[in-house]
Structure 1
Amino acid sequence: MKILCWNTNEAVWNHWNQVTRSDLTLVRAKNLSETYQLLKNAAEDFAYCFIYLEDENFSEQVEQVVTLHSQYPENKVIVFPNKASQAAALRLLSVGINGQCQPFIGRQQLELVLSVVDSGEIWGGKAFIENLIKQTAAVLETEVRDVELDDLSERENKVAHLVAQGLSNKEVANNMNVTERTVKAHLTAIFKKTSAKDRLSLAMLVQKSHKVH
């Protein structure tokens, strides 16, 4: 299994090679052009795309990642920012980036990250996602349509509100005493009815609905 790594930092690159499993092959791209070329030639060969966000041109690189993901949406992307930025985190996660981690992540934590992302969840931790939703809902716009939640069934509404609290599919399933498959089915219906494209957008919509009512 291959991982495409857009990485300009030698120390971080060497660290990634040390903490990844032996069955994972890291393929390095040192700039955006090389990244596009590798994806153009064999996007399906890469299970993940790791992207190191450097301090220099940080905001510009964030937008480049957004554009890259929009062109290759099937590839799972995990970003490794060298500095903390809540605005950047929201921007990336809201468009479907699968997670963000510290550049010098540990071996066991990286395994956990990949496991969570493989299950269809966003990595960042429950507290991170919940705080991100709470602190940015009032000041950042989302791309969802201005719709009400009235079209949702009672159980769909409950799922939406639990997701808005930052709960994972497994946690929602435990809370409602149903299977994760049932939760995923509810989320599929919710996204279709509300036009929310991801969990963060749905959370924003739930909070906006509360303000209206």
Structure 2
Amino acid sequence: MNINIAIVDDHNVVREGIKQLLEIDGEIKVIGEARDGIECLEMLKHTIPDVLLLDINMPNMNGLQVLEKIKANLIKVKILILTIHNEVEYLIKAVNIGVNGYVLKDSDSADLKKAICAVYNGETYIQPNLTPLLKESLRKKAEIKARESDLLTKRELQVLELLSEGLLNKEIAYKLDISEKTVKNHISNIFKKINVSDRTQAAVYAIKNNIVDIL
């Protein structure tokens, strides 16, 4: 089995180290490298690996932004996040965007190869010790959503999410295909139900209660 990969990381030493570790047995070949998100997207215009190893913290454009761009542009490449971040928020954001795998940089070479092979074969691979954190976080978020759905209607939740993303009433109306007056009515009802007086407080409420993502 020969797997072509590309490595996207802003540290030259890290890229070189990963390359040496993975190419030892000849089953994996590094066919591309990039130092940041912009270089990565340029690389993908002419080089499409089987699996893209993607760091999160990078200048110009971070890994999650790159992931969103790749998905939006329907670029057919499997993506494995390789990062130092073990915070479940990053993992959830990556999963929601559509990542194929998520592994920490402190993994040994055998585990990294296992992850690459799994992703290459069409599986979703989450580093085992992160899985319980992901499940627990999703469970809590589902519980909060359920409670909020009793308090706010489905449409009010949609308005609150868009409001929290910084959209104006006119933009919310366009997104939801409703009138601007209806949006204003929904916002007024939301403020009363969650006991806030302005959009900023409403956005903070939405973030604290996991109604919207902070990343």
Q: Deviations over 1:163-203 (max 9, x none)?
A: xxxxxxxxxxxxxxxxxxxxxxxxxxxxxxxxxxxxxxxxx
Q: Give the counterpart of 2:51 among 45, 48, 53.
A: 48
Written as runs of structure 1 = structure 2, the 5 A alignment for 1:12-161 is: 12-21=14-23, 22-23=26-27, 24-43=29-48, 46-54=49-57, 60-126=62-128, 128-139=130-141
Question: With structure 2 as the length reference, what TM-score do the two structures score?
Answer: 0.55
SS of 1:42's equivalent in the other structure is coil
- Unmatched tracts of structure 2, length 5 or more: 150-215
Note the aligned Cα RMSD (angstroms): 2.9
How much has 1:8 moved relative to structure 2? Answer: 0.5
Distance 2:127 2:47 in 1: 31
Q: Which runs of 4+ in 1 moved over 6 A?
A: 55-58
Does the CA contact (< 8 Å) of 1:17 and 1:26 recur in 2? no
- Specify the structure having the higher radius of gyration (Cα): 2
Distance 2:5 2:130 in 1: 25
Question: With structure 1 as the length reference, what TM-score do the two structures score?
Answer: 0.55
Does the CA contact (< 8 Å) of 1:16 and 1:104 recur in 2? no
Q: Which has the higher contact order (CA 8 A, sep 6+)?
A: 1
- Unmatched tracts of structure 1, length 5 or more: 147-213
Does the CA contact (< 8 Å) of 1:55 and 1:83 recur in 2? no
Q: Deviations over 1:74-98 (max 9, x none)?
A: 2100111222221110111122211
SS of 2:68's equivalent in the other structure is helix
Q: Which piece of structure 1 moves more, 31-40 or 133-142?
A: 133-142
Percent identity among equivalent residues? 12
How much has 1:119 moved relative to structure 2? Answer: 3.3
Distance 2:59 2:42 in 1: 23
Q: Which amino acid aligns with 1:62?
A: L
